[in-house]
Amino acid sequence: MLPGVIGILQATEAIKLILGQGEPLIGRLLTFDALESNFRVLRVGRDKECPACSESASLDEAKVREMDYQVSCLLSIAGD
């Protein structure tokens, strides 16, 4: 049952993004504990030193294509 709950929450978020309605879960992590019947929302923030999305990151299409994610997903901020 749990995948149904989570999958439908994902579908709901996608619909909200398409319609431009409401507050999507950007910067918020929704957790659902099925045994405790508890929803929680945690605020999550950007990492100023993120190797993927920060100002100083140098990620581009070529780099994604070159990486071997099965071997290592590590990404350094400097570029190579």
Partner 1 sequence: MPRQYDQLFETVRQNIPEVDVHDLKSALDQADAKPVIIDVRERDEWEQGHVPGARFIPRGFLEMRVEEQVPEKDQPVYLYCAGGVRSIFAAQSLQQLGYTHAMSVSGGFGSWKDAGYPFDIPRQWTPDQRQRYSRHFLIPEVGEDGQGKLLDASVLLIGAGGLGSPAALYLAAAGVGKLGIVDSDEVDLSNLQRQIVHSTSRVGEPKTESARTFIGDLNPDVEVVGIQERLTADNVIELVRDYDIVVNGADNFATRYLLNDACVVLNKPIVDGSIFRFEGQVTVYQPGEGPCYRCLFPEPPPADLAPT
- Binding stretches for partner 1 (CB under 8 A): 1-15, 17-22, 24-35, 44-47, 50-53, 57, 59-61, 63-70, 73-75
Rounded to the nearest whole angstrom, what is the least distance from the CB of residue 39 to partner 1 in the complex?
10
Query: Exposed e or buried b for every residue in 29-41, given b needs 16+ CB within 10 A?
Result: eeeeeeeeeeeee
Q: Count of residues for the chain?
A: 80
What are the backbone angles phi and psi of residue 29, rounded to the nearest 5°?
-115, 115
* Shortest Cβ 40–partner 1 spacing (Å): 10
Residue 4 Cβ vs partner 1, minimum distance, rounded to whole Å: 5
- Say if CB 27 and CB 44 are below 8 A apart: yes
Helix (H, G, I), strand (E, B) or coil at 13: helix
